[in-house]
Amino acid sequence: MFVVAGESLIDLVAGPKRTDGVLQMGAHQGGSPYNCAIALARLGQETGFLCPISSDSFGDLLLAPLEKAGVVPLIKQRSDCNTTLAVVTQNARGLPAYAFYRQGTAERDISREKLLAALPLSIDLFQIGGFLPIEPDDAAIWLDVVKSVAARGTVLSIDPNVRPSLIADFQGYTERLDAFLDLAHIVKVSDEDLVALDAHKSIEEHARALLARPHVELVVVTLGAQGACAFTADARANAPIYRPEMLGDTVGAGDAMMAGILAALAERNALAIGRIGALDATSLEAILRFGSVVAGLNCAHVGCNPPTRAEVEAVLQTN
């Protein structure tokens, strides 16, 4: 089973203003790990989601797509805390910009005992990211859980989704993030993440620094409209974005890309420690291409709505 750990939330996505000046909002299920879990399941991977879900009406809204996609909610007991909310607008590049409301919410209703007890006996991949390193107390709990999974010899992947607007102490955050990165085998970041972490380094410098960490074998960097690139110690590849016929928005595109990369690695029997870093440039390009199609098909919708495996195959066979 693939296990994805991290937040679920409701995206309140801003639409066009009405003529009377009222800003219309649409409620969409979201959260980077939540999106990734659904995307993995739709691509045919057995997937569990490790996050408390609220007993409120937004929690009901979150559970429905998980169950429809076949994702297993690993924490069975619903939380009495409210669901986290994110208000989503667009920045100058047309990319999502977020404001979060997560004080005392369900996705933070965690303990070491609750999380460890919910883990399945067999884990083929443990995907982490999103909000895990942001708050010191939360990070300490999650780090213990990740270390426990790492001790099993499980492949660990991380997509940090750096959110400066959520982080009060950025230096403390980067130190906590470092602890997670030092356990990971696969790292996926956006160019915006890298700028937030250190604007003075080039993408190549960031990639080299990540690959120099104790366990990292693969680094993937998404570049917005410029596509994506991937690095191992010995190989590099690039792939363009896939543009759907009709564009909805880019919400969840990076999460879909992450799922596509993990699924492509698994299907090539490369999702194993040692095999990941041995991929050549041709294999890396094919993996990026698969992930780009998954992300592009997601962008045909408003809000995160990742494709099925059949939809991805239909594109790959005709392009």
pLDDT at site 90? 72
pLDDT at site 246? 81
| 8 A C-beta contact, residue 292 and residue 254 | no
| 8 A C-beta contact, residue 181 and residue 216 | yes
**131 vs 135: CA distance, rounded Å:** 8
pLDDT at 38 > cutoff 70: yes
Q: What is the mean pLDDT of residues 130-152?
A: 96
* Domain limits for position 275: 2-7+30-53+66-79+110-318
Q: Please write the tens of the pLDDT for every residue from 97-136.
A: 778 899 999 999 999 999 999 999 999 999 998 899 999 9
Q: Is residue 94 part of a domain?
A: no
pLDDT at 94 > cutoff 70: no
Tokens (6 digits) for 243: 């543009």
Q: Is residue 310 part of a domain?
A: yes
Q: Please write the tens of the pLDDT for every residue from 250-309.
A: 778 899 999 999 999 999 999 999 999 999 999 999 999 999 999 999 987 877 789 999
Q: Please write the tens of the pLDDT for every residue from 191-200.
A: 999 999 999 9
- What is the tally of structural domains in the chain? 1
Q: Is residue 303 part of a domain?
A: yes
Residue whose structure tokens are 């230096």: 171
pLDDT at 205 > cutoff 90: yes
**94 vs 249: CA distance, rounded Å:** 9
Positive or negative: CA dihedral 131, 32, 291, 293: negative
pLDDT at site 166? 86
Nearest Cα neighbor of 189 from 150, 153, 216 is 216
Q: What is the mean pLDDT of residues 84-92?
A: 80
Percentage of the chain lying above the pLDDT 70 cut: 98
Q: Please write the tens of the pLDDT for every residue from 155-181.
A: 999 999 998 888 999 999 999 999 999
**207 vs 201: CA distance, rounded Å:** 10
Tokens (6 digits) for 1: 């089973």
Band of the pLDDT at 92, cuts 50, 70, 90? low
Q: Is residue 181 part of a domain?
A: yes
- Residue 249 maps to which CATH number? 3.40.1190.20
Q: Is residue 300 part of a domain?
A: yes
pLDDT at site 27? 85
Q: What is the mean pLDDT of residues 16-44?
A: 88
**291 vs 186: CA distance, rounded Å:** 14
Chain centroid offset of residue 97 CA: 16
pLDDT at site 134? 95
pLDDT at 245 > cutoff 90: no
Q: Is residue 256 part of a domain?
A: yes
Chain centroid offset of residue 148 CA: 21
pLDDT higher for 161 or 24?
161
pLDDT at 34 > cutoff 80: yes
pLDDT at site 89? 76
Q: Is residue 96 part of a domain?
A: no
- φ, ψ of residue 5 to 5 degrees: the values are -120, 135
Band of the pLDDT at 28, cuts 50, 70, 90? confident
Backbone region of residue 314 per phi and psi (left: phi > 0; alpha: psi in -120 to 50; beta: other values):
alpha
pLDDT at 91 > cutoff 80: no
Q: Is residue 18 part of a domain?
A: no
